[in-house]
Structure 1
Amino acid sequence: MTTETTTTDLTTVKGLMAAIEAPEGQGVEMMDPATGKLVGRAPQRAEADLDEAVATAREAQRSWAARSHAERSELLNRAADAVEDSAEGLAAVLSREQGKPLNGPNARFEVGACAGWLRANAAFEIEPEVLVDDESGKAVLEYVPVGVVGAIGPWNWPMMISIWQVAPSLRMGNTVVLKPSEYTPLSVLALGAVLNQVLPEGVLQVLAGPGELGAALTAHPGVDKLMFTGSTKTGQAIMRSAADTLKRLTLELGGNDAGIVLPDADPEAIAEDLFWGAFINTGQTCAALKRLYVHESQYEAMCQALVKVAQRMPMGVGLEEENVLGPLQNRQQYDIVAGLVEDARNGGARILMGGDPVQDQPGYFYPTTLVADIDNDNRLVSQEQFGPVLPIVRYTDLEQAIAWANGLDVGLGSSVWGTDLEAARAVAARLQAGTTWINKHGAVDPRVPFGGVKKSGYGLEFGVEGLKSVALPKVTSW
């Protein structure tokens, strides 16, 4: 099931597309969400292809697991080199299919993160742990491969999140069968083709196809662990599907991250970091800032500081170098965002900017929108918008702000903003989230474990803890 890449130049868009695209008249046409133009034809794999891929992965896993950590790490570093060699081509494919601009924290940033995460996972040290060593005997804890990892990725960061799944799995001696989102399959197929220039055959296989293919992957008896990033609803379905075979799970699910601005914060100083915490990838990020609570003493100043920043951030077609914000990736998400903004408007909220999309332009562009004077129970606050809209909620009492921040059944990330670090840390300790940042938001690091609480996730990714999550603990005692 691996793509033959030995004679194809994978550093260019043309070469990448030649390696991955379905023949004319076959596959599913993928359209640019910024222009409506054809990007390419994604091949569609069936359940029989999945069976073959899993069988191939199981066969390849034995020899892959037999390699040392040093040997697997060397191949991950070589894979990072290959990504860097193809970076411009990969970024262009990603920009055209997903919609995100080349510049800003977008397509080039994402491709660079792929290389960075590969190198980080290659560098982590994971040694046997001596648990007991005394007159009674000795016991050692090691981490051994799970086997075959089934990975299902999202459409918002299709390449980077695929690497979050692939890199630790491969480092720990597993093989991977990866099913990308049906909205962004070409991006992940292109990344897989680049990686497979270096990796042994069968170690990583990318199968594009409909949602039914993902469901078959989650239930497949030859898959030992599942990694999924996406909605809570789908994550719950995956847990049910995995129960019969007791597959191990890592689930990074939806969020509705809250940020609390304390009364001592400087609105002008934090406005740009707040903006990018909310609007990175045009708001299409699970751990983006999605509701902002601001003390009444700073409220108007904070609103105006955010407007100033937002007004100088150009939105447009991703391949145009000046843009840093792009379209929503698909019509379904566009309609969700537009409906939530209308709910806010109808509920009496004040639209500081945006909220009125141009109707006759191509693409799923929704303008950068800031919403003030909104009730905490409005749907724009209580539901994840996943787009370029930020509701700004006024609070008078810090206890109320903390209760509002903790009041939902999700808890991926959160943030606290202020100049008194001790006071900010005290508030951070009370927020119910897998990660709470102080004076920043969404700043993930491959060395720092990441995961959600409540309905935002199950398990951890990144760092040595992330390696352990794609392995099995084994104790040897004598």
Structure 2
Amino acid sequence: MPETAATIATARQAQRAWAATPAAERGAALRQAGAALRARVGELAKANESDTGRLEAEAAEGVLAGAGTLEQYAELGPVHRGATLRGDISATDFMVPEPRGVVVALTPWNDPVAVACGLLGAALVTGNAVVHKPSERSPLTGALLGEILAECLPDGVLQTVSGDGLVGAELAGHRGVDLVAHVGSVEAGRAIALACARTGAKALLENGGNDPLVVDGDVDPAWAAGQAALGAFANSGQICVSVERIYVHQAVAEEFVAALAVEARTRGLLPLVDNRQRDKVDAHVRDAVAHGAQLLVGGDAPAGPQYPATVLTGCTADLLVMREETFGPVAPVQVVRDFDEGMAEAATGEYGLAATVLTRSMANAQRAWRELPAGTVKVNSVFGGAPGGAAEPRGVSGSGFGYGPELLDEMTQMKVVHLEPAP
């Protein structure tokens, strides 16, 4: 489409001057952008609630997280270093990171400010121009975020484009794009990877997950149930690293399941982004029940975009809810004989985003991070992590670092320089 070509041409033109801007000034622009988000947190949170049903208070936390991410990259960008090399004494050899050029960022609806700010912040502070397409399921939030950030940047450096997957596909497949950063479904991620293979652009992908939780037999089952509920029900289970499948040691299974049922009943009916997501979640629950799982709590699909916090027991590996990403407030539980079986089950499947293990055994904790095939392994905290941490998905969950200081490396390409005097 002519509009796409014009947008990318504008980004290309603006990027040259932006790349020549001192890194400290680019960082200062991001600090200003972070302050602007903080000043308008209420507006963005209300837009998010209107778009997706996410409660305004929770949405505000996402906005503040996005502001913090911009401020973090404002500090990290100017100190992003290359390297000097030791060659001939008469020569100078070094490696310097340079911006890739034009970055297309395709971001999701489930945390539309926080996730976008990570990709946009890292791309902008390293001297790239960005064309951002927020999800069509969060149009108000995406447009307002783009407006606020663009006010802090030179014209054309950040452009926000609205539209559905067809618009995203056209952007991702344009030969004027140097990097496509995507957070979303496996299907979209695969299509983007193919498009980038044709154009030569770099693909940076986080394609979702089917994250396991292993509950060892030596932990307090009530505490473990609280962790499981937080992982499965926070933001209605609509988080990339939500707990999607639970393997609990038989020694604590009865008490754990009873406590998890109480947690689910306390949460009750939870908002989902739309009816399409409700139908997908309900289909996974119906499939589980049809194939022998027991519905302990929840499971009734009401009218409108919402679903109750749901607990399924008696689950087996062949169920959709255990094999695929449900992305809703469902906690499917499979009882295992011992920690070995829990680890073996957790290691199955083609996803590799994150995994959690709850255990008091240091030996089992060490096994967990060494053996589980996931980009992030958390022990005794479903959402733990230090500021500045990074993660690299595995399997169909994607490729490349999606946040942290390492994201600056993804947004740049290294140039090797050899300099020696002429005779």
User: Given the alignment of the two structures, is residue 448 of structure 1 paired with residue 400 of structure 2, yes or no?
Assistant: no
- Which amino acid in the other structure matches residue 204 of structure 2? T
Aligned to 1:391: 332
What CA deviation, in whole Å up to 9, does each residue of 1:97-142 have, x standing for no partner?
1111123xx3011111110110111122312222326647442222
User: Given the alignment of the two structures, is residue 348 of structure 1 paired with residue 292 of structure 2, yes or no?
Assistant: yes
Aligned to 1:300: 254
User: Given the alignment of the two structures, is residue 119 of structure 1 paired with residue 60 of structure 2, yes or no?
Assistant: no
What CA deviation, in whole Å up to 9, does each residue of 1:273-308 have, x standing for no partner?
321122221011121110010000010111122222
CA contact (8 A) 2:358 2:381 kept: yes
- Between the aligned partners of 2:66 and 2:414, the Cα distance in structure 1 is 27
Task: Rate the CA distance shift 1:368–1:380 in 2: closer, same or farther, 3 A.
Answer: same
TM score, norm. by length of structure 1: 0.84
Aligned to 2:185: 231
Identity over aligned residues, as a percent?
A: 35
CA contact (8 A) 1:413 1:442 kept: no
User: Given the alignment of the two structures, is residue 379 of structure 1 paired with residue 333 of structure 2, yes or no?
Assistant: no
Aligned to 1:199: 153
**For residues 72-471 of structure 1, what are the structure 2 equivalents within 5 Å?**
72-103=26-57, 106-124=58-76, 125-132=79-86, 135=89, 137-313=91-267, 315=269, 326-359=270-303, 363-443=304-384, 447-471=388-412
Aligned to 1:31: none
CA contact (8 A) 1:417 1:438 kept: yes
**For residues 8-23 of structure 1, what are the structure 2 equivalents within 5 Å?**
none
CA contact (8 A) 2:217 2:339 kept: no
What CA deviation, in whole Å up to 9, does each residue of 1:439-461 have, x standing for no partner?
11244655111221011011112
CA contact (8 A) 1:344 1:379 kept: yes
Unaligned runs of 5+ in 2: none
CA contact (8 A) 1:146 1:174 kept: yes
CA contact (8 A) 2:268 2:309 kept: no
CA contact (8 A) 1:289 1:442 kept: no
What CA deviation, in whole Å up to 9, does each residue of 1:333-378 have, x standing for no partner?
211111111111122222221012334xxx2111110111111222
- Between the aligned partners of 1:333 and 1:394, the Cα distance in structure 2 is 28
Determine helix, strand or coil for the equivalent of 2:155.
coil
- Which amino acid in the other structure matches residue 168 of structure 1? A
What CA deviation, in whole Å up to 9, does each residue of 1:309-351 have, x standing for no partner?
2333354xxxxxxxxxx42212222111111111111222222
Task: Rate the CA distance shift 1:136–1:353 in 2: closer, same or farther, 3 A.
Answer: farther
Task: Rate the CA distance shift 1:131–1:271 in 2: closer, same or farther, 3 A.
Answer: farther
What CA deviation, in whole Å up to 9, does each residue of 1:19-74 have, x standing for no partner?
xxxxxxxxxxxxxxxxxxxxxxxxxxxx3222221111111101111112211111
CA contact (8 A) 2:352 2:393 kept: yes
User: Given the alignment of the two structures, is residue 475 of structure 1 paired with residue 416 of structure 2, yes or no?
Assistant: yes
- Between the aligned partners of 1:365 and 1:91, the Cα distance in structure 2 is 19
Unaligned runs of 5+ in 1: 1-46, 316-325
Determine helix, strand or coil for the equivalent of 1:286.
coil
TM score, norm. by length of structure 2: 0.95
Cα RMSD, aligned residues only: 1.6
Task: Rate the CA distance shift 1:156–1:180 in 2: closer, same or farther, 3 A.
Answer: same
CA contact (8 A) 2:237 2:328 kept: yes
- Between the aligned partners of 2:136 and 2:72, the Cα distance in structure 1 is 28
Aligned to 2:2: 48
- Between the aligned partners of 1:217 and 1:444, the Cα distance in structure 2 is 33
- Which amino acid in the other structure matches residue 435 of structure 1? T
Q: Which has the higher helix share?
A: 2
- Between the aligned partners of 1:102 and 1:463, the Cα distance in structure 2 is 26
Determine helix, strand or coil for the equivalent of 1:236.
helix
- Which amino acid in the other structure matches residue 302 of structure 2? V
Please report how far the alpha carbon of residue 409 of structure 1 lies from its aligned counterpart in structure 2 after TM superposition.
0.7
- Between the aligned partners of 1:422 and 1:397, the Cα distance in structure 2 is 14
**For residues 21-36 of structure 1, what are the structure 2 equivalents within 5 Å?**
none
- Between the aligned partners of 2:10 and 2:210, the Cα distance in structure 1 is 39
What CA deviation, in whole Å up to 9, does each residue of 1:389-414 have, x standing for no partner?
01011000333222211110111000
- Between the aligned partners of 2:64 and 2:329, the Cα distance in structure 1 is 23
CA contact (8 A) 1:266 1:418 kept: no
Determine helix, strand or coil for the equivalent of 2:17.
helix
- Between the aligned partners of 1:189 and 1:443, the Cα distance in structure 2 is 31
